[in-house]
Structure 1
Amino acid sequence: MGSFLVRYLLMCFCLIMILLSSFLESSFPPSSCKLQKKFNLNGMHRPGDVILGGLFEVHYSSVFPERTFTSDIDTPGFRHAMTMAFAIDEINKNSKLLPNVTLGYSLYDNCATLDIGFSAALSLASGQEEQFRLLENCSGTPSVVGIVGDPFSTFSIAASSVLGLFKLPIVSYFATCSCLSDRQKFPSFFRTIPSDAFQVRAMIQILKHFGWTWVGLLVSDDDYGLHVSRTFKSDFLQLSGGCLAYSGILPWEDHPNEYKKIVDLMARSTARVVIVFALKIHLIHLMTEVVKQNVTGLQWIASEAWTLVGGLHTPEFMPFLGGTLGIAIRRGEIPGFRDYLLKINPEEQNSANNMVNTFHCRFSANWLEAGGTVCTGEEELRNAETELLDVTELRPEYNIYKAVYALAHALDDMLHCAPGRGPFIGHRQNSVKRNEENNVNSSHFFLDS
């Protein structure tokens, strides 16, 4: 947790310094700000009257915590991004929701790396234009009116700590840290997934049902793991009279020696029940060492973050993980989503070419010089070998779908809110005003209170 916390606090400090330097910049009028840096981010964009932002794990860094884009594509992560694109497309076709308003989107890849995800969140808040104008009260206009994401709790804490100052709503579909329920610290953070506080109680009920009172606990080295560890240790004793045989912290980096120490501890312990609150990357490192030491006979209990992760259902791991009990996110149905995915082709996807390459080809001439295949524009996803089309277990996707609709309904309510009947103090209301500047093709809206 220490390294993640220090890194995002440093980013907050850097942001403050950037804002201060902007006001000290003498070459620009007082009604404008100049971005001191433009981030190089992978993303896909669609214009509209109102823009929603999204943060997704489309690529992941093979070596944490290096700040790098890699060729390692997280297909479920790209499906998550396309879920948001689909929901926005569906809303735009609905004449009863946000009539005469076209939603657009700016979706960024966080590469499962904190500084990239934080940079993407800042870009969504301020835009990527070098110079942008401020309103008379110097509050400015965010380039997006709301953000769906980030999936990671630590990333969401970092982004919400800063963007909450500007009252920019963030609706996460996967960040479960109970710390994010603090409305004083995170006034503009929302989510479509329950807090870990409920998951801990559910796990304790499972342990109590089977009479398991002597267990081991492993958590990831981030806010998600360390907050849930404190809650579990307190509630387990109080609610079921159980005790922890041991507890361990799983590092983000691939530290073989650290994982060896943890598995050594598990092998020596008399506790046969192991509870793990961690992500896929931690489980892969952990199970690799479990297989290496041949530690069998354990009853695993999984948190929602890895219960149904496909990367663990392998011939190598299943003899050790068979019989695992876990808490799963509710599965939902999204009619028409698979057909939407099937319509993706390289030509339509060209704007997202930097985010992910489903067809293993590109339109760029430089790509051909590098030995790659140039797209014809006629490729079809139905002919591609990809797990992208697997829509049988839409769990995070369903949360994303609900998050987009939550933002859309909030905007719709604001558009139809009568003067003097607002939900804020003194019956004030926010409104969506038309902004004709900076776009010759369509009008833009921004929030005002």
Structure 2
Amino acid sequence: MTSSKTWPEEGWALLQLLLVVFFSHADQAVCRLRGDPENPHLSKDGDILLGGIFSLHGSWKDREENYINKPLLLECTSLNFRAFQFAQAMIFAIEEINNSTELLPGISLGYKMYDSCGSIARSVRVALALANGNEVVTAQSETHCTRPAQVQAIMGETSSSPCMAVATVIGPFSIPLISHFATCACLSDKTKYPSFFRTIPSDYYQSRALAQLVKHFGWTWVGAIRSNNDYGNNGMATFTETAKQLGICLEYSVSFVRTDSPKKIQNIIEIIKASTSKVIVAFLSYLDLDGLMSELSQHNLTGYQWVGSEGWIFDSQTAKMDQHHILDGAIGLSIPKAHVSGLREFILDAKAFNSSSNDILIEFWETLFSCKFNQSNSSAENQRECTGHEDLSELQHSFTDMSLMPIFNNVYKGVYAVAHALHNILGCNETCNYKVQLDPFTILQHMKNISFKTKEGDEVNFDENGDPPAKYEIINWQPTEKGIVDFVTVGRYDASLPAAKQLSLQNKPLIWASNSKKVPVSVCSEKCSPGTRKVLQKGKPVCCYDCIRCAEGEISNTTDSITCVRCHPEFWSNDRRDACVKKESEFLSYEEMMGALLTAASLFGTCMTAVVALIFFRHRKTPIVRANNSELSFLLLFSLTLCFLCSLTFIGRPSEWSCMLRHTAFGITFVLCISCVLGKTMVVLMAFRASLPGSNVMKWFGRTQQRLSVLVFTLIQVVICILWLTISPPFPFQNFKVIKDKIILECALGSTLGFWAVLGYIGVLATFCFLLAFLARKLPDNFNEAKFITFSMLIFCAVWITFIPAYVSSPGKFSVSVEIFAILASSFGLLICIFIPKSYIILLRPETNTKKNMMGKVTPKTF
């Protein structure tokens, strides 16, 4: 149980104060605006109110707050005449709708316009003022400080960042916010900004269009400068992504704001100076670009090709400020040109200002004409007094410049979009239904589905993201002789068309940087011509590469090829490596020098053999011819003729029949030849054995046996050849491997076993014949034929032993030449060693061609 104690005196005093406050305010308003009220700078009453947020001033005075006294209201400075033009466009559209009998008949539209002073925080503040109003809400039991929104829609802001802030704040209240110049693609996100609309395309399309424009002119190595805000950062991010897909590389990408420190600006200047790219993509607002131009002009950074966004590319004031011609020849995307009849005259009609007591209009008039109303109250003693009747039409000022008519048209279309939504909601025909309770959410829903045409024929509609169709004009800055810049439309971009047709350039002459008529080149590496391939440089972007010539047998027939394609085996790369050409077929032909020489040698050997045969035939009854079986001698001459002639089958283009003929004819004729020589050798040995007392050997090796031996030895080779041709015969073959750039036409062996069996059999017979002749070389005889046979077989074996490695190692047609040479050399060896000595005796030493001389000391048996 606690003891009871009295409250302290301070507690009783606080309670009494609260009771006094409660009862003293019981009958007063309980819902009040906290802080100072915001009053519109331009306003007009009407049945339905529209809001407007424009940066009528560009900046504000900085103040240091002491946090002791309540902060004063923001003091705006630097009058912004462009914003005044936007405000006038909104007023013009509202007045035109009020005077229309077709749109919202009987309904008057009013407006309340606020100045954001270029401050995002102030934009949010005035947006809340437009939504809530400044009136005091009285306390009633059924109200809880809630009431309908003061305006049904808000026009503005001009920039993306303020729009993002305002759309975030008023989005939950479903108040439509229609911007005429906020292009950031991020504002298309309906989850974050559900009530945002705009009458200018999203930067998503502009960034992609800029990348395609850069690619169109072959610029793959570019620099990039962007505004350091939502507009510049988001736009450049999309551009960078698309550029990468198109094979464009950024050498540098820097951000810039006109309030940056001199050190950062100097760093940007140094980056541009050190760069090798000659194209600069500038995703900047006109204010940022104007600030950058003043710095670039001090360093005389001319000669760069500028590619601009709609933020500055069609701005005439920026062109006038470019006194050093830094931006000459710039190219970029612009909002399509537009015309709103009557708007120019309305803006230049200042009668509405003459009698106005509005502070901002007075400031506008005084700044425009450099005068002062009520000069006696002004501190500027030398400034003339404003009459209020000054003529705007004769004034040369940015306010009278109508180059921003496309943006004025966007404001105009935004007001009409709201009016058409209201017209549908109120069921207006000849009159409107006044009983319909308006609320921003209903207007928001109708805004999503509107579709109409303005009096100028422009179609107005919004997609699911609140964006209009993306259409741009491509603008080229072309300086004139008068020193002014002419904005020439040289092409168009329409995102609604197929990808291949979205970007189209007209056949108009373009002016480039430094007043050049030649398209500038901006690449990290020159294009790789056909016949080469790209190899990336280590540590550098993909646009920096070296061009490497394609290897032999490979080609590239396109520019900037990343690979070389190998030619088909029957083709080879040309000298430029840009096309595959049919390989030259190589074979030993009669037309070339080597083939002609071998043919001549073959024919010469044939003729020589024929001459020897003729000599032997004419002297066939002489002892030297009859000695050692003249029949074998003539058969040997016949076989030698065939050996010389068979070499001709190796010359010429290989065919199926020539391949089979050349090897079989060679094998059979040489076996026939060796068989005859072997027979002659055996006759010499048998003859010597027969001359010995009591020997009867010659009856076992007479003429019949000699013929049979030749026949049997030859038939064995014939059988081997038949088996070879039956099982796996030689065939014509295109050899692509021996010589890379030529097709070697040769005869494939088919069965290698058959080939080596033919050669092996010849080798066995030749070796056997050589051994027999070697044994008989010293037999006593004035004309011992065994010696000559030994020499001939020695040559024969030496030729064919050296033939094997030479044949294997010789490429292409040279292997055929080696084989022909071996045939001819062995044939000439047999012919010269066996028959030339006898021919010498027959023709030049006939006195020794006697039986007595042939017999010498030993008298062999006659046969």
Report the TM-score range of the alignment, normalised by the length of the smaller protein. 0.7 to 0.9
Give matches, 1:68-107, under 5 Å.
69-107=75-113
Q: What is the rounded CA distance, in whole Å, between the counterparts of 1:259 and 1:380 in structure 2? A: 41
- Matched with 2:603 is none
- Matched with 1:407 is 418
Equivalent position to 1:356, from 364, 370, 381: 364
Answer whether contact 1:145 1:447 (CA < 8 A) is retained.
Answer: yes
Number of residue pairs matched by the alignment: 403
Q: What is the rounded CA distance, in whole Å, between the counterparts of 1:302 and 1:403 in structure 2? A: 25
Q: TM-score, normalised by structure 1?
A: 0.80
Q: 1:32 to 1:102 in 2, by over 3 A?
A: farther
> Structure 2 counterpart of 1:387, which letter?
S
Post-superposition Cα deviations, 1:358-414, rounded to whole Å, max 9, x if no partner, equal 455565688546656654444443354433233355111010010010011111111
Answer whether contact 1:204 1:236 (CA < 8 A) is retained.
Answer: yes
Give matches, 1:132-281, under 5 Å.
136=143, 139-238=146-245, 240-281=246-287
Specify which structure has the bigger relative contact order, considering alpha-carbon pairs within 8 angstroms and separated by 6 or more residues: 1
Q: What is the rounded CA distance, in whole Å, between the counterparts of 2:283 and 2:185 in structure 1? A: 13
- Matched with 1:50 is 48
SS in 2 for 1:320: coil
Q: What is the rounded CA distance, in whole Å, between the counterparts of 2:48 and 2:219 in structure 1? A: 52
> By how many angstroms is 1:313 displaced?
1.7
Q: What is the rounded CA distance, in whole Å, between the counterparts of 1:408 and 1:359 in structure 2? A: 35
Give matches, 1:363-374, under 5 Å.
367-368=377-378, 371=381
Give matches, 1:23-38, under 5 Å.
33-38=31-36
SS in 2 for 1:123: helix
Give matches, 1:389-404, under 5 Å.
389-391=400-402, 393-404=404-415
Q: What is the rounded CA distance, in whole Å, between the counterparts of 1:37 and 1:315 in structure 2? A: 42
Q: What is the rounded CA distance, in whole Å, between the counterparts of 1:155 and 1:64 in structure 2? A: 20
Instruction: Please tell me the root mean square deviation across aligned C-alpha atoms, in Å.
Output: 3.2
Moved more, 401-410 or 273-282: 273-282
> Structure 1 counterpart of 2:422, which letter?
L
Answer whether contact 1:58 1:110 (CA < 8 A) is retained.
Answer: yes
Q: What is the rounded CA distance, in whole Å, between the counterparts of 1:331 and 1:160 in structure 2? A: 28
Q: TM-score, normalised by structure 2?
A: 0.43
Q: What is the rounded CA distance, in whole Å, between the counterparts of 1:32 and 1:63 in structure 2? A: 35
SS in 2 for 1:335: coil
Post-superposition Cα deviations, 1:70-96, rounded to whole Å, max 9, x if no partner, equal 552222221111010111000000011
- Matched with 1:8 is none
- Matched with 1:321 is 327
SS in 1 for 2:112: strand
> Structure 1 counterpart of 2:328, which letter?
G
Answer whether contact 1:259 1:285 (CA < 8 A) is retained.
Answer: no
Moved more, 253-262 or 171-180: 253-262
Equivalent position to 1:332, from 322, 327, 338: 338
Q: What is the rounded CA distance, in whole Å, between the counterparts of 1:235 and 1:65 in structure 2? A: 44
Q: 1:41 to 1:390 in 2, by over 3 A?
A: same
Answer whether contact 1:175 1:191 (CA < 8 A) is retained.
Answer: yes
Q: What is the rounded CA distance, in whole Å, between the counterparts of 1:76 and 1:138 in structure 2? A: 38
Q: What is the rounded CA distance, in whole Å, between the counterparts of 2:253 and 2:154 in structure 1? A: 35
- Matched with 1:382 is 393
Q: What is the rounded CA distance, in whole Å, between the counterparts of 2:295 and 2:172 in structure 1? A: 43
Q: What is the rounded CA distance, in whole Å, between the counterparts of 1:196 and 1:266 in structure 2? A: 25
Residue 296 (structure 2) pairs with residue 298 (structure 1): no
> Structure 2 counterpart of 1:234, which letter?
E
Post-superposition Cα deviations, 1:133-176, rounded to whole Å, max 9, x if no partner, equal 89858653221110111011000000000100110000000000
> By how many angstroms is 1:228 displaced?
1.6
Q: What is the rounded CA distance, in whole Å, between the counterparts of 1:132 and 1:289 in structure 2? A: 57
Post-superposition Cα deviations, 1:407-447, rounded to whole Å, max 9, x if no partner, equal 111111110189xxxxxxxxxxxx97579xxxxxxxxx655
> Structure 2 counterpart of 1:129, which letter?
E
Post-superposition Cα deviations, 1:23-49, rounded to whole Å, max 9, x if no partner, equal xx9858999632112355671111111
Answer whether contact 1:149 1:172 (CA < 8 A) is retained.
Answer: yes
Post-superposition Cα deviations, 1:1-38, rounded to whole Å, max 9, x if no partner, equal xxxxxxxxxxxxxxxxxxxxxxxx98589996321123
Q: What is the rounded CA distance, in whole Å, between the counterparts of 2:179 and 2:138 in structure 1? A: 27
Q: What is the rounded CA distance, in whole Å, between the counterparts of 1:301 and 1:164 in structure 2? A: 35
**Gaps (5+ residues) in structure 2?**
1-20, 65-72, 443-863
> By how many angstroms is 1:347 displaced?
2.7
Q: What is the rounded CA distance, in whole Å, between the counterparts of 1:311 and 1:224 in structure 2? A: 20
Q: What is the rounded CA distance, in whole Å, between the counterparts of 2:221 and 2:138 in structure 1? A: 59
Answer whether contact 1:302 1:327 (CA < 8 A) is retained.
Answer: yes
> Structure 2 counterpart of 1:284, which letter?
D
**Gaps (5+ residues) in structure 1?**
1-24, 419-430, 436-444
Answer whether contact 2:183 2:231 (CA < 8 A) is retained.
Answer: yes
Answer whether contact 2:58 2:78 (CA < 8 A) is retained.
Answer: yes
- Matched with 2:57 is 59
> Structure 2 counterpart of 1:353, which letter?
L
Post-superposition Cα deviations, 1:86-115, rounded to whole Å, max 9, x if no partner, equal 110000000111111100111122222222
> Structure 2 counterpart of 1:45, which letter?
S
Moved more, 85-94 or 337-346: 337-346
- Matched with 1:120 is 126
> By how many angstroms is 1:338 displaced?
2.3
Q: What is the rounded CA distance, in whole Å, between the counterparts of 2:219 and 2:412 in structure 1? A: 37
Q: 1:267 to 1:349 in 2, by over 3 A?
A: farther
> By how many angstroms is 1:128 displaced?
2.8
> By how many angstroms is 1:305 displaced?
0.6
Q: What is the rounded CA distance, in whole Å, between the counterparts of 2:114 and 2:213 in structure 1? A: 38
Answer whether contact 1:433 1:447 (CA < 8 A) is retained.
Answer: no
Sequence identity of aligned pairs in percent?
A: 34
Q: What is the rounded CA distance, in whole Å, between the counterparts of 1:165 and 1:373 in structure 2? A: 50
Answer whether contact 1:65 1:113 (CA < 8 A) is retained.
Answer: no
Q: What is the rounded CA distance, in whole Å, between the counterparts of 1:223 and 1:65 in structure 2? A: 27
> By how many angstroms is 1:242 displaced?
1.2
Answer whether contact 2:207 2:236 (CA < 8 A) is retained.
Answer: no
Q: 1:313 to 1:392 in 2, by over 3 A?
A: closer
SS in 2 for 1:334: coil
SS in 2 for 1:327: strand
Q: 1:285 to 1:208 in 2, by over 3 A?
A: same
Q: What is the rounded CA distance, in whole Å, between the counterparts of 2:27 and 2:188 in structure 1? A: 40
Q: What is the rounded CA distance, in whole Å, between the counterparts of 1:120 and 1:201 in structure 2? A: 35
> Structure 2 counterpart of 1:102, which letter?
S
Q: What is the rounded CA distance, in whole Å, between the counterparts of 1:127 and 1:99 in structure 2? A: 27
> By how many angstroms is 1:288 displaced?
1.7
SS in 2 for 1:410: helix
> Structure 2 counterpart of 1:404, which letter?
V
- Matched with 1:7 is none
Q: What is the rounded CA distance, in whole Å, between the counterparts of 2:173 and 2:241 in structure 1? A: 35
